[in-house]
């Protein structure tokens, strides 16, 4: 009777590829020895298949039974483990119908997802001093990594393809091919938090945000219609294959390095990225039985420079602006609990992997981890944002830009980088191109003064000002404005008149 019921359910559910007939109990494939499970106050959600029909699955942590879930009609059992403080190692086993499977060396800590395109996929072995970075990771036994295999699918699946099962970093090929940004972010963070860190890499080079967005997220924004082809660029295919299956795992947060593939349609991206973040948060929350926060921290890398050119004012600059939901900084009222690393001052035109792949991932990871400490971990007195303009004042052919309400001392490294848009009146709508250089003519501890004499003659009113609005705005760490104490670059901004 029960067997018949399960068979029937399986026949019905098979169309959604969600059915397990194998009797032997097991964990879903991303629960493995050496893994990190999310620590208290959250409860780690785990699931698996093969519980014997009509019998419970006994779940044991370090010899203590913590639950006896029943497998459902599709052969799936699941349980929320007791909220467990950071640390370990622990053994977690499940037993059903005489079969026991054990995960050993399991730590409780914070689980981070690392996703995006090729700059997240960029491998540790492609870093100049990668050997010392790997050694540094190996000195942190609380740091664990795993990688999903690339998988583009038309429909969601219950389990991902595993590229690298959970492991400690080591001098091995799988660590060497692990994400440089993901690993170095963890190394940097581990110097400032005590809990174990579990890093899950799930990325695919050259892919647009649409591929990582569920149909729900896509429906929230206007879309750029693409020609249909079976490839990883299709809407939702990577969400289906590389995000949806891990939604049930309780996680702490996500970092994201993506956007180059959307630079051709930057005006759509602000909506798209906000929709994707909201949707991931809602779906991780729901699939983990509310254990993953529905406002979990989300960090991203604002696009780095690309080509060694000047005068490329569209594409990357617009995309960087869109990445912040057009505020210029994060977190902000639209992107709450979001943090970023500014990278537009880290060109590497000589990169053997192409200018689109700068090798300077350590700077990116350090900036991102600093912001994570301030935003994701709420550590006090972390100055994690570069200076941002708060006030503009005009006298004659001078425009003064004050940063952070006068609260941050700035360092000025070059006079170039600001531009103004000139119009007949302040209501002139500034175009993407055709701006005029407005060099820094002087500065105080907390403001810069721009020479706007480029706006002369018939159209002499300054109708807009922008900063670092170039694909590749400056030489390495030589943009115009930085925090004096932090060495963090002021992010790009654009501002239309009025300036009061
Ligand atoms: C339980 O295990 C026995 C022996 O291994 C097997 O014959 C039987 O089919 C299993 N029962 C279920 C319900 O999976
Ligand atoms: C986990 O299992 C291993 C191997 O059986 C054992 O040596 C170790 O003591 C166990 N750890 C805990 C915390 O029970
Ligand atoms: C790698 O090299 C960079 C730049 O030279 C340096 O800042 C960093 O400390 C090095 N990292 C390690 C782990 O050796
Ligand atoms: C995925 O969808 C595309 C477009 O509808 C279709 O051409 C392709 O055959 C589908 N692939 C699979 C594996 O179903
Ligand atoms: C690592 O990769 C190299 C080159 O691809 C190969 O020769 C070597 O056998 C691999 N080592 C391991 C441990 O897989
Ligand atoms: C889970 O969260 C949702 C909304 O976030 C809420 O409506 C629901 O009651 C929660 N369920 C439990 C079991 O806490
Ligand atoms: C970048 O372009 C400048 C100006 O054309 C040139 O002098 C410089 O050598 C280039 N740098 C690289 C690394 O190609």
Residue nearest to atom 3 of ligand 7 (CA): 308
pLDDT at 230: 56
> Do residues 337 and 393 share a domain?
no
Task: Compute, in angstroms, the gap from residue 158 CA to the centroid of ligand 5.
Answer: 31
pLDDT score for 15: 41
Q: Is 154 in the pocket of ligand 4 (CB under 6 A)?
A: yes
The answer on 289 and 343 residing in a single domain is yes
Size (the chain), residues: 500
23 lines ligand 1 (CB under 6 A): yes
Per-residue pLDDT of 435-446, as tens digits, reads 999 999 999 999
Q: Is the pLDDT of residue 24 over 80?
A: yes
Angle (nearest 5°) at CA 30 between 24 and 33: 80
Report the percent of the chain where pLDDT is more than 70. Answer: 94
Domain boundary among 375, 407, 437: 375
**Domain closes at, from 69, 104, 139:** 104
| Residues lining ligand 2, Cβ inside 6 A | 62, 90-91, 104
Residues 486-499 have pLDDT tens digits of: 999 999 999 999 98
Same domain for 283 and 406, yes or no, is: no
* Residue 14 within any structural domain of the chain: no
Residue 441 in any domain: the answer is yes
Instruction: Answer yes or no: is the C-beta of 290 below 6 A from any ligand 6 atom.
Output: yes
11 domain-assigned: no
What does the alpha-carbon distance between residue 346 and residue 474 come to, in Å, rounded to a whole number? 8
pLDDT bracket for residue 2 (50, 70, 90): very low
Instruction: Please check whether residue 299 lies inside any domain of the structure.
Output: yes
Q: Does residue 168 share a domain with residue 42?
A: no
In a domain, 15, yes or no: no
Report pLDDT digits (tens) over 288-336: 999 999 999 999 999 999 999 999 999 999 999 999 999 999 999 999 9
Q: Which pTM was predicted?
A: 0.93
226 and 338 in one domain? yes
Q: Which of 227, 230, 234 for mutating ligand 4's site (highest number of atoms within 8 Å of CB)?
A: 230
Q: Does 340 share its domain with 208?
A: yes
- Ligand 7 nearest atom to the CA of residue 349, by list position: 13
Contacts of 219 (CB under 8 A, 6+ apart): none
pLDDT tens-digit profile of 328-347?
A: 999 999 999 999 999 999 99
The predicted pLDDT at position 354 comes to 98
- 251/150 same-domain check: yes
**Index of the ligand 1 atom closest to the CA of residue 3:** 13
Residue at 204 is within a domain:
yes
User: Are both 141 and 77 inside the same structural domain?
Assistant: no
Q: Are residues 40 and 168 in the same domain?
A: no
d(CA 465, CA 417): 11
The CATH number of the domain holding residue 249 is 3.40.50.1110
* Minimal-distance CA residue to ligand 2 atom 12: 62
Count of domains for the chain:
3
148 inside domain: yes
Sign of CA dihedral 241, 242, 244, 249: positive
205 with 336, same domain: the answer is: yes
Residues 123 and 256 in one domain: yes
Considering the domain boundaries, does residue 411 fall inside one?
A: yes
Boundary (domain end) residue, out of 104, 129, 164: 104
Q: What is the CATH number of the domain that holds 90?
A: 2.60.40.10
Same domain membership, residue 295 and residue 181:
yes
Which residue range(s) make up the domain with 406? 389-496
Residue 16 binned pLDDT confidence (cut-offs 50, 70, 90): very low
């Amino acid at each position: 009777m029960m067997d018949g019921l399960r068979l029937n359910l399986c026949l019905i559910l098979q169309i959604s590829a969600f059915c397990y007939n194998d009797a032997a109990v097991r964990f879903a494939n991303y629960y493995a020895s050496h893994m990190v499970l999310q620590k208290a106050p959250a409860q780690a959600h785990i699931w698996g298949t093969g519980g014997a029909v009509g019998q419970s699955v006994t779940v044991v942590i370090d010899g203590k039974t913590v639950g006896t879930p029943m497998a459902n009609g599709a052969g799936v059992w699941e349980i929320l483990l007791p909220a467990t403080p950071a640390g370990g190692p622990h053994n977690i086993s499940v037993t059903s119908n005489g079969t026991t499977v054990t995960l050993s060396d399991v730590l409780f800590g914070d689980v981070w997802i690392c996703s995006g395109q090729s700059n997240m996929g960029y491998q540790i072995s492609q870093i100049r001093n990668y050997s010392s970075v790997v050694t540094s990771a190996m000195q942190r036994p609380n740091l664990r990594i795993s990688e999903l295999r690339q998988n583009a699918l038309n429909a969601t699946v219950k389990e991902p393809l595993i590229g690298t099962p959970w492991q400690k970093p080591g001098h091995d090929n799988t660590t060497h091919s692990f994400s440089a940004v993901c690993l170095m972010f963890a190394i940097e963070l581990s110097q400032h938090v005590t809990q174990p860190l579990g890093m899950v890499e799930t990325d695919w080079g050259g892919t647009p945000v649409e591929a990582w967005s569920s149909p729900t997220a896509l429906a929230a924004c206007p879309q750029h219609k693409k020609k249909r082809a079976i490839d990883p660029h299709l809407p939702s295919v990577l969400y289906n294959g590389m995000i949806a299956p891990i939604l049930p795992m309780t996680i702490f947060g996500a970092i994201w390095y993506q956007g180059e593939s959307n630079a051709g349609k930057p005006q759509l991206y602000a909506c798209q990225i906000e929709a994707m973040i909201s949707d991931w948060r809602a779906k991780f929350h729901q699939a983990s039985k509310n254990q993953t926060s529905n406002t979990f921290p989300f960090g991203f890398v604002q696009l780095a420079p690309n080509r060694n050119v000047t005068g490329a004012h569209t594409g990357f600059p617009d995309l960087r602006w869109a990445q912040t939901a057009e505020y210029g900084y994060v977190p902000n009222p639209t992107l709450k609990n979001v943090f970023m690393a500014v990278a537009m001052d880290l060109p590497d035109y000589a990169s053997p992997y192409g200018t689109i792949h700068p090798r300077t991932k350590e700077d990116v990871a350090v900036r991102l981890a600093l912001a994570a400490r301030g935003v994701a971990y709420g550590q006090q007195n972390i100055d994690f944002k570069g200076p941002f303009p708060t006030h503009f004042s005009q006298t004659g052919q001078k425009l003064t830009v004050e940063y952070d309400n006068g609260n941050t001392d700035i360092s000025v490294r070059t006079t170039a980088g600001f531009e103004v848009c000139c119009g007949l009146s302040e209501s002139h709508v500034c175009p993407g191109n055709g701006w005029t250089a407005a060099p820094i003519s002087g500065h105080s501890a907390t403001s810069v003064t721009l020479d706007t004499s480029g706006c002369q003659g018939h159209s002499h009113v300054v109708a807009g000002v922008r900063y670092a609005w170039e694909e590749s705005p400056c030489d390495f760490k030589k943009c115009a404005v930085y925090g004096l104490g932090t060495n963090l670059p002021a992010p790009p901004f654009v501002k239309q008149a009025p300036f009061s």
